[in-house]
Structure 1
Amino acid sequence: MEPKRDNDTPTSESNPTDAKDIYTTAIEPAGDEKHAAAEALPDRDGVFGELDDQAKEYRSLTAWGAFMIMTKANLGVGVLAIPGVFHSVGLVPGYVLIIGLCAMMTFAVSYIGPFKRRHPECYSVADALYLVWGPAGRDIMAFQFCIGKISAIASFLVSIATCLNAITVHGACTAVFIAVAAVVGFLLSSIRTLHKVSWLAWVGVVSISVGLLVVTIAVGIQDRPAAAPRTGPWDKDLRIFANPSFTQCISSITTIIFSYSATPTFFSVLCEMKEPRKYQRVMLASQGLMCVIYLVIGTLFYYYCGQYVSSPSLGSAGPLTKRISYGLVLPALLVSLCIWTHIIAKFLFVRILFGTYDLTHPTKKHYIVWLSINFVSTLLGYLFASAIPIFSVIVSFIGATCSTPGTLLPFPIMWWHDEWRRRPWAERKPKLATAIVYLTMVLFACTIIVSGTYSSIKQIINAKATNGPWTCADNSNSVPKK
């Protein structure tokens, strides 16, 4: 895939003839006709080419469908780790981190819309960096994007294995459960368009919402959490402000970043939206909802369980409720696995077949490439999940090494390229405050990447002694210890 280079890319400012690009053509009103006529797709897309009846399937994602995919992509294993963050750093610092990081990432991805409008040939952040740094920038970002998404696939495979262990009370080897989850994930992710995947996202959001509601009610009405002493007094040890170690502090930050790590995929979601003008409001609604969910669910779990909150937090309400809640959220975890595998596969699929007839038409080559990429992505996720089958460790590791550079670094670079790089000082001056915000974001990201990677590697080394790769051991704490 070879997007146009910087000096060849038309923009609304520099080339009036090309100003009505694929983005604006799709969103401008058409006279007095409303809805269908106003939102009619153009004849050609910057990514998918000529939009005949077959190709239009790739630009059929509704605003509600986009909202559900964005929300479900973020609403997964991250929310299950938030109560532990509150205990590590304290309730108030935890609130500051969740709200602050949400605001930072929302500000970053808000630039996807304007950037896509100016560069309609871009499908991902990797394509965006091609415009800035050429093939090297694209390949580096593509590698990071793939590693990050494969790591996320691994986290969902581990979560599903944990779920199956809890439901069956460790009815089979954990390595077997991970393999089963990988097979199901491959089958679901082979659905070709995000529009069709969006129907699964509805199921996933309802599933995890009901599961969280059940376990939240359970921890609120029970006498004590499952991990607390069975008899005698027990202390929640609720902390408004804690005194975390450096490792705990960095691990908490990377865990929250992981909870918002789906934001780079919003680029791909926008590319398949039928009404791209609605991206900004859909994104803001999704991010706002995620922030509220993390604060409310995290606070309730932490208030009722304190230091005895489980990781993942669904195990906090006792064996029976644990099995019920894991059963309820299992569809949600499968949907998350489907979405993340689909997105990385679609990224590679577009990269390989860009500009060809096979990209959007159901030819033999189309299906061979699509299914092969899905299989390889799932296989790599399976290998990673089997190597580090521990929930808290894998979440922290992904947050540091993959989520941070993927969610915080590309968007300041995109903004710098379009809004600052070649502008005269008279045009830069009004944007100085924005430039400072983006520079702060880059410095913060670099700090977290270095310190977070060091912290997570230490955790992996310490955890390896008890849970090695391809282990059969129970990772859900469902089997009573002898």
Structure 2
Amino acid sequence: MDKKTNPDIDPENAIEPTQSHLGEVLDKPIQEDAVFGAIQEGDTNYRDVSWMGTMALMVKTQIGLGVLSMPKVFDTLGIIPGIILLIVIAGMTTWSNWMIGVFKLLHPAVYGIDDVGKMLFGRIGFELFGAMYTLYWIFSGGSALLSISISFNALTDHGTCTAVFVAVAAIIAFIFSSIQTLARISWLAWAGAACIITAVFIVTVAVGIQGYPPPIDGIVFESDYKLFGNPSFIDAMTAVSTISLTYAGTPAFFNIVSEMRDPKYYNRALAICQVLVTVIYIVVGTVVYYYCGSYVASPALGSAGMLIKKVSYGFALPGLCVSAILLLHVSYRHGL
């Protein structure tokens, strides 16, 4: 029908009909996206993550129980070099994360790092980068499943085989990682980040109140913290790798910015995320290492005794589940 001859249509704001791939005539889509195509009324909207939801997803991909590896890093390097190196790596990853936002605005059709590989090296780059990305997050998700099983073991005093707890964690992650969009997972990210941060700060505060390392066979030792360490090359590189891995959520930022409702707010979410994560790493690492020194427990949630260990793992458990869900979700989406 000619829109100019239809009295019910305003010629200035008329909606042109569009032809779907099945042949039926549909109204003009409510949103067009270079990645997800035309989004019709009633369709799943993949571009629906707010900037605050983006921040929560970013924080959750960065923060896990790996934050409690900071005391060991400081034990290797010393508090002062450790903090300096932490800030340097934070700056490097912040620049990398910022470039992801810039790249996405310049190339709207890019959804993940596999698309970047395709732009650089064609089909081979697409398959290679996609395989590496998927394997990276599968292995990271497997680490989260193991952390969940450790949490269950701590809460039940090892009442069940670890393999059973890993199976339970895998079932939970499988069910919830199938949630269709990151927008629907973002509320889980808020809860998960809050749980992890609460757990690590419970340990940090408890260690400060306790004022000494965890007793070994009933014997209390003095903290042997160091301002400057004297590590071997291998130990120093291990510490650098540990810090780098605590900021290793960067690859998922391609997916996150691609599902933002308004990508122009990406830098705001990124800045808050990186500052918050870095401050938490420094505070937790410094306080726990200052009071525990090289005697810090492994896992570090046990550094303030069994009661605090159970309490902190109780808070951490939902956050660990969310970590597994989010990490496996992004690998699943690339496997489609």
Q: Under TM normalisation by the shorter chain, which class is it?
A: 0.7 to 0.9
Query: Unaligned regions of 5+ residues in structure 2, if any?
Result: 1-28
Larger RCO (alpha carbons 8 Å, 6+ apart): 2
Contact 1:78 1:256 survives alignment (8 Å):
no
Contact 1:185 1:338 survives alignment (8 Å):
yes
Query: Unaligned regions of 5+ residues in structure 1, if any?
Result: 1-40, 350-482
Give the Å deviation of 1:273: 0.5
1:96-245 equivalences under 5 Å are: 96-222=84-210, 224-228=212-216, 230-231=218-219, 234-245=221-232
Aligned to 1:61: 49
Aligned to 1:446: none
1:300 to 276, 282, 287: 287
Contact 2:198 2:315 survives alignment (8 Å):
yes
Give the Å deviation of 1:56: 5.1
Percentage of identical aligned residues:
40
Aligned to 1:316: 303
- Give, in whole Å, the separation in 1 of the partners of 2:237 and 2:69: 14
Aligned to 2:257: 270
Give the Å deviation of 1:179: 1.3
Give the Å deviation of 1:53: 2.7
- Give, in whole Å, the separation in 2 of the partners of 1:324 and 1:221: 16
Give the Å deviation of 1:213: 2.2
Aligned to 1:75: 63
1:275-318 CA deviation, whole Å, 9 max, x = no partner? Answer: 11001111121111111110011111111111111222111111
2:328 to 341, 362, 380: 341
Contact 1:225 1:318 survives alignment (8 Å):
no
Give the Å deviation of 1:126: 1.3
- Give, in whole Å, the separation in 2 of the partners of 1:286 and 1:170: 35
Letter in 2 for 1:98: L
- Give, in whole Å, the separation in 1 of the partners of 2:294 and 2:101: 42
1:70-126 CA deviation, whole Å, 9 max, x = no partner? Answer: 001111122021111111111112112211111001111211122112211110111
The answer as to 2:75 corresponding to 1:87 is yes
| CA RMSD in angstroms, aligned pairs only | 1.6
Contact 1:80 1:311 survives alignment (8 Å):
no
The answer as to 2:314 corresponding to 1:327 is yes
Contact 2:149 2:166 survives alignment (8 Å):
yes
Letter in 2 for 1:319: M
Contact 1:66 1:198 survives alignment (8 Å):
yes
Letter in 1 for 2:41: D
Please say which structure displays the higher CA radius of gyration: 2
- Give, in whole Å, the separation in 2 of the partners of 1:132 and 1:100: 28
Give the Å deviation of 1:241: 1.2
Contact 1:84 1:311 survives alignment (8 Å):
no
Letter in 2 for 1:157: L
- Give, in whole Å, the separation in 2 of the partners of 1:75 and 1:206: 10
SS at structure 2 position matched to 1:317: coil
1:135-194 CA deviation, whole Å, 9 max, x = no partner? Answer: 122222112111211111111111111111111111111111111111111111111111
- Give, in whole Å, the separation in 2 of the partners of 1:42 and 1:306: 58
1:50 to 38, 61, 68: 38
- Give, in whole Å, the separation in 2 of the partners of 1:277 and 1:78: 30
Contact 1:236 1:305 survives alignment (8 Å):
yes
Return closer, same or farther for 1:97/1:202 CA change in 2, 3 Å cut-off: same
State the TM-score, normalized to the length of structure 2.
0.88
Give the Å deviation of 1:229: 5.5
Give the Å deviation of 1:58: 0.5
Give the Å deviation of 1:130: 0.8
- Give, in whole Å, the separation in 2 of the partners of 1:289 and 1:150: 26
Runs of 4+ in 1 over 3 A off after TM superposition: none
1:290 to 277, 286, 301: 277
- Give, in whole Å, the separation in 2 of the partners of 1:45 and 1:173: 48
- Give, in whole Å, the separation in 1 of the partners of 2:150 and 2:42: 40
Return closer, same or farther for 1:95/1:230 CA change in 2, 3 Å cut-off: same
Contact 1:88 1:242 survives alignment (8 Å):
yes
SS at structure 2 position matched to 1:238: coil
Give the Å deviation of 1:225: 2.9
Return closer, same or farther for 1:235/1:64 CA change in 2, 3 Å cut-off: same
